[in-house]
Structure 1
C-alpha cells in the first residue's frame, strides 16, 4: 500500500493520505513523502491535501509511544515540523479538503494550510495533553492568530472535539459543505485560483507567513521540550491509554 497517493487533477495536485487503518496518522517516512510531494508544485495553481477511508488525518502515529525510542521520536517530531513548513513555503496555495476527523497533528495540518473546506461530517480537535504530548507546532501559537487566543487554548488544553460547523464559526475553516460536495467545492476553489496571477498569489501567500515565521522560535523550543519528555510516565500512560481505548491515569502534579 502506498502511504501517500498523488494525483494530478486539472490545475491542482492532490495529495491523499492513505493509511485509513490508523486514520491516516503519519509516521516519519509518510510525513517525508508528503513533504517531498509539496516541494515540486510550481507548475500547478494549487495543492490539495485530503485523506482516504473517511478520515482526514489523526496526526503523528502513536503506535510505539508506550515504549518510545528516542531517535525515532526525534525523527517524528522533526518530520512533522518539516511537513508543516513545506505547506507554508509551497509556492502555491495549499487547500485542506477535510473529509473526516482532523485530530492532533491533523488539526495542526489544517492550521498550516492556506485554505480549508470541511465536509459536514468532519470533526476537529487537539489531543496532545490527553495522549501525553503537546501541540507545539501550530496549535499553541499560530492557531491563536487564526481563531483567537482563548479559543486556541481551549482546543489545545481541553482536547475537546468540534463539529465542522463549529470549526467554521471559530474561523478554523473557510467553508462547510455536504460530504458529497466536498471535492467539487474544492475543485471550484481551484478554478477560482486559475483565474488569478500565480506570481502575485505566491507573493500574497509568502507575505502572509508573518505570524508563522514569528512563531518559529516557539516551534523549536516546544519541540526541544517534547524531546526532553520522551519516555516520561505521562507519555507512556497517554499512549498506552489511547491504544487500549481507556481513560488515561496520569500522575498527580508534583
Structure 2
C-alpha cells in the first residue's frame, strides 16, 4: 500500500476488488476515532483507484462485523482519543462525526460496496451494513441497534436508510427495542441480500464480486448516482448530473466548445449532432 499505513484495519487490493477489514476482533471490531479515520482513508483510496471496481467491507475474526463505537473510550463529550499524530485529521473529531463521514463514503463512492457480515452487526456497525449497497451474511450473523440501550442514537443515515430497507414500523421496532435478529430474520425483512453457511461466506462474496465485475463500471456508477438522486435530494441529483457531465466531457461536441474558445472562433456544435447540418 505504500504511503497507507494502518493499525486498526487491514486494507487489501486483489484484482479489481478492494477489501477493508476492521481489525479489532478482541473488541468485536468496535471502533475508535483512529479506526474510523483509517476506514475513511481506505475508502477514499478505493474511490480514486481506477482499477478497483468493487469494495468489500467486513470485520476480522468469526464473531463480529462491527458492534459500533468502543464504549471504553467514551466520555462526557462523546468519544476521545489523544494523539498528536492525528491532529488535523478526522480522527481528532468526535467519533460520531467521523462515523457519518464513513457512512457518506459508503453511500457515495461510485462503486458497489458489499458488506461481508461475518458475525454481530450491531449499533454503528449495523448502520454501516445497512448503508452498504449489498449485504452477504453468514448464518451466524446477528443484527440490531443498540443506541437507546447505551445512551446513543443515529438520527441520520442510520434511521432513514433503515426504514427504506424494512419499512417504518419495523425500523422503529429495531431502534426502539434494541433486539437482536438472526440472519434468516434479517433476510426476510430485507436487511441483507443473501445468507449462507459460515464456511461458504467468502465463496459467496467472491461470486457476487465476480458478477459485478462483469458489468459496465460506468453503468453501475450512474445507477448508484440514480439511487442517490432519489434518496439524497439536491446532493444526489448533483452527483447524478456531474456523473453525466463527466461522460459528456468525453464527446467531440464538448471538445468543440473548448477548441473554439482556444482558437477564438464561434463553436459549431451541430456538426456533431446526428442529423445536424
> Would you say same fold, with TM above 0.5?
yes
Q: Helix, strand or coil: the match of 2:121? A: strand
Q: Structure 2: any 5+ residue segments left out of the alignment?
A: 1-5, 82-92, 236-277
CA apart distance, 1:46? 0.2
Q: Tell me if the contact between 1:120 and 1:164 (Cα under 8 Å) persists in the aligned partners.
A: yes
CA apart distance, 1:209? 1.7
Residue of structure 1 aligned with 2:14, choices 2, 9, 14: 9
Q: What are the superposed Cα offsets for residues 189-234 of structure 1, whole Å, 9 maximum, x if unpaired?
A: 0100111100110010121124542499xxxxxxxxxxxxxxxxxx
Cα separation, partners in 2 of 1:108 and 1:212, compared to 1, 3 Å: farther
Q: Tell me if the contact between 1:105 and 1:126 (Cα under 8 Å) persists in the aligned partners.
A: yes
| Distance (Å, rounded) in 1 between the aligned partners of 2:40 and 2:127 | 15
CA apart distance, 1:77? 1.0
Q: RMSD across aligned C-alpha pairs, in angstroms? A: 1.9
Task: Give matches, 1:63-82, under 5 Å.
Answer: 63-65=72-74, 67-69=75-77, 72=80, 75-82=94-101
Q: Tell me if the contact between 1:135 and 1:156 (Cα under 8 Å) persists in the aligned partners.
A: no
Cα separation, partners in 2 of 1:13 and 1:215, compared to 1, 3 Å: same
Report the TM-score, using the length of structure 2 for normalisation.
0.73
Q: Are 1:53 and 2:61 matched, yes or no?
A: yes
Cα separation, partners in 2 of 1:194 and 1:130, compared to 1, 3 Å: same
Cα separation, partners in 2 of 1:26 and 1:188, compared to 1, 3 Å: same
Residue 23 of structure 2 is matched in structure 1 by: 18
Q: Structure 1: any 5+ residue segments left out of the alignment?
A: 217-254
Rg comparison, structure with higher value: 2
Count of residue pairs the alignment pairs up: 215
Residue 189 of structure 2 is matched in structure 1 by: 170
Q: Which structure's relative contact order is higher, taking Cα pairs within 8 Å and 6+ residues apart?
A: 1
| Structure 1, 71-80 or 194-203: larger mean CA deviation | 71-80
Report the TM-score, using the length of structure 1 for normalisation.
0.80
Q: Are 1:91 and 2:110 matched, yes or no?
A: yes
Q: Tell me if the contact between 1:145 and 1:211 (Cα under 8 Å) persists in the aligned partners.
A: no
